[in-house]
Amino acid sequence: MIKSMTGHGGIEKSFDFGILAIEMRSVNSRYLDIFLKAPDFLELYKNDFNKILSERLVRGRISVFIKFESNAKDTFCVNFDAAEKIFHDLERLRKNLAIDEPVTMTHLLEIPEVLKEKEPEIDMEILMDKVVKMLAETAQKLDDMRSIEGKNLADGIEMKLQEIERNLKEITNRIADRKISYFQKYKDLIRELSGDINIDGERLLQEVAIMTKKVDITEECDRIVSHISQFRNYMDKDDDAGKKMNFLVQEINREMTTIGSKAESAEISQLVVNMKNELEKIREQVQNIL
């Protein structure tokens, strides 16, 4: 079954050394785009985290938030060297700009380089093991939600496909009734335009058949039926179906446009408009399919 690119997953666990929480959100995107925010002491492992996620999540913009709350009392430290340098730089800037307001501790603490989160005094190998396992669990939760959302998308798309089929059936019924009238219409037209010119009966039938063929939409209707069947096959799969379904939407739209241009009937033109409206709704939903 198809999956949506929209989803959410989160896990929080308590350990002897602190509390670890991971949250993931996913929205639609043409490619896999991972945005990961983690504590400073985990920056070196971001590539490892991205690799884990890319193996489990095929496509979409994935926002990942890793939070760690240590049980240690002192979780922040002051970078004295940076603080002193920044203080002197601010003082010089204040004097150069003739600013009366003094540089305060509040100003310094608002600068990220001054007050930094301390690396937890725990075995990083143990912490990394927990993070990796929780990343995999959270990714699975996200994927499960994508499956649920995908089921909802499939149900909505199926209703719109059935509406297209209903209109298409009405078109095929109308065109079948019109074939004989089209033939007689063009036959009379050719006789009228030819005037006194004597036209061979067989040649007349050939010309009429050619003109009738130009307004025949049987092939276009058959191709739409085939495309819809293939569309449903894709909805039963989850292997990058979104791109394939998007291509089929374009092909179906092309056939509908041809039917609209060929049909010499206001009723059929309106039915084509109805089908295109439903197809546009499907196109919007397909953009969110994995």
pLDDT, tens digit (0-9, with 9 covering 90-100), for 72-126: 665 567 778 888 888 888 888 888 888 888 888 888 777 777 777 666 667 788 8
Q: Nearest to residue 69, comparing CAs of 22, 108, 112, 111?
A: 22
Token code pair at residue 149? 């959302």
For 7-19, give the DSSP string. Answer: EEEEEEEEETTEE
* Amino acid in position 86: I
Closest of 262, 251, 42, 3 to residue 131, by C-alpha: 42
Give the per-residue pLDDT at 147: 92
The tens digit of pLDDT for each residue in 223-280 reads 999 999 999 999 887 667 898 999 999 999 999 999 888 777 788 889 999 999 999 9
CB 41 within 8 A of CB 185: no
Total residues belonging to the chain: 290
| Dist. CA 158–CA 147, nearest whole Å | 16
Tokens coding 201: 């009966």
Provide the pLDDT for residue 216.
73
Distance CA 108, CA 11 (A): 35
Q: Which helix H or strand E contains 21, and what residues bound it? A: strand 18-27
Structure confidence by residue, pLDDT tens digits, 222-234 = 999 999 999 999 9
State both tokens at 288.
């969110």
Residue 204's pLDDT band (cuts 50, 70, 90): very low
pLDDT of residue 240: 75
Average pLDDT for residues 164-171, to the nearest whole number? 95
Residue partners of 278: CB distance under 8 A and separation at least 6: 160, 161, 163, 164, 167
Q: What percent of the chain has pLDDT over 70?
A: 82
Helical spans, DSSP H, in the chain: 46-54, 80-96, 105-109, 124-194, 201-214, 218-235, 241-262, 266-286
